[in-house]
Amino acid sequence: MPPALPSATQAHPTFQDVLVARNVIRRYLAPTPLHNYPALDPVVGAQLYIKHENYHPIGAFKVRGGVNFMAQLDDETRRRGVVTASTGNHGQSIAFAAQLFGVRAVIVVPEGANAVKVEAMRSYGAEVVFHGADFEACKRHCLTLQEEEGLRFVSSGDEPLLIAGVATHTLELLETQPDIETIIVPIGGGSGVAGACLVAKSINPAIQVIAVQAAGAPAAFLAWQARAWRTASINTFAGGLATGEPFMMPQQILWEHLDDFVLVEDDELRVGVRLLLEKAKTLSEPAGAASLAAAIRLRDQLRGKKVALILSGGNISPAELRQCLDAEIPANL
């Protein structure tokens, strides 16, 4: 059964919340760079600016939301601790922020989760629990632990403070390069692209915001398309995009503000990782390369424009990297 839409008491984040989040986050995290790589531009025929969220301490944009969320927790919740479900980057974010503020964190991950990300969560002091085959099974187990241990469940999507926190990537981006015409953002749960919409449309409604998701896990795309709850099977190697159910708070923001939504195949993600490594000298995880994969797919409409690509994370496992290095780059790129 689909969940109820977020209630009126669970207010959506606003642009003002993002400005507050920036003041919180800047005490703990340095702004990430925005770089143009002339060797990469011809692949799309546009001026591409990479927002390097892979440069964060945890290697992913999610840490912005974790720090903003944990910084504003009340003392009683900090004392009890938090529990969350993650395929990797959100879990690292909560683990990092929990260590920063002295909060117990329990992270439920799927069996077979990315070993690089699991090790990172543990390195920040989090308790990692393996449960179930996918992200949705992990979420259900979190509710059990919340009931049994009194922990505060942290949704990776339906948390206003997380959305406001991650939205600061787009605020930084537009402060650095105000004339960006299009922003492309990977989507798993939707906090990153919802935040991008909030900021971009508040600063300049003419900026086009495009979401990109794996074709093998299209739940968020289907929900956006139908303007209603939809689920989908998960069949992608990109852990950061592997969600089978939409989060409805980000969805409501997307329904109002998102301009377009693109699905890409896993082979396109592999090519994106390889191109970023070769032409931008940067390491991306498959989800992080989704923005470049989408730009390549949309190159006819993006030609000549100034386009920002959110490189959402760089936490790629050795096995995934080997796959990507073996990817064959199409002759027309």
Q: Which residues are catalytic?
A: 62, 312
- From residue 54, how far is each of 61, 188, 295 by CA, in Å? 7, 16, 19
| Cβ proximity of 264 and 215 under 8 Å | yes
Describe the chain by its helix, strand, coil percentages, rounded to 5.
45, 15, 40
Describe the strand order of the beta sheet including 182-186 as a list of residue ranges.
34-36, 47-52, 306-311, 182-186, 208-214, 260-264
CA 325 centroid distance within chain: 23
Separation CA 170–CA 162 (nearest Å): 14
Of 244, 167, 180, 255, nearest to 213 by C-alpha is: 244
Own/partner contacts of 25-31, CB < 8 Å, gap of 24 or more, are 25/64, 25/67, 25/68, 25/165, 25/168, 28/67, 28/71, 28/100, 29/56, 29/57, 29/63, 29/64, 29/67, 31/172
Q: Which residues of 46-57 are buried (b: 16+ CB within 10 A; e: fewer)?
A: bbbbbbbbbebb
In three-state secondary structure terms, 260 is strand
Identify the residue whose tokens are 């922020």: 97
In this structure, the number of other CB atoms found within 10 A of the CB of residue 111 comes to 11
Q: What sign does the dihedral 130-131-136-140 (CA atoms) show?
A: negative
Separation CA 94–CA 126 (nearest Å): 8
DSSP string of 133-145, one letter each residue: SSHHHHHHHHHHH
In three-state secondary structure terms, 169 is helix
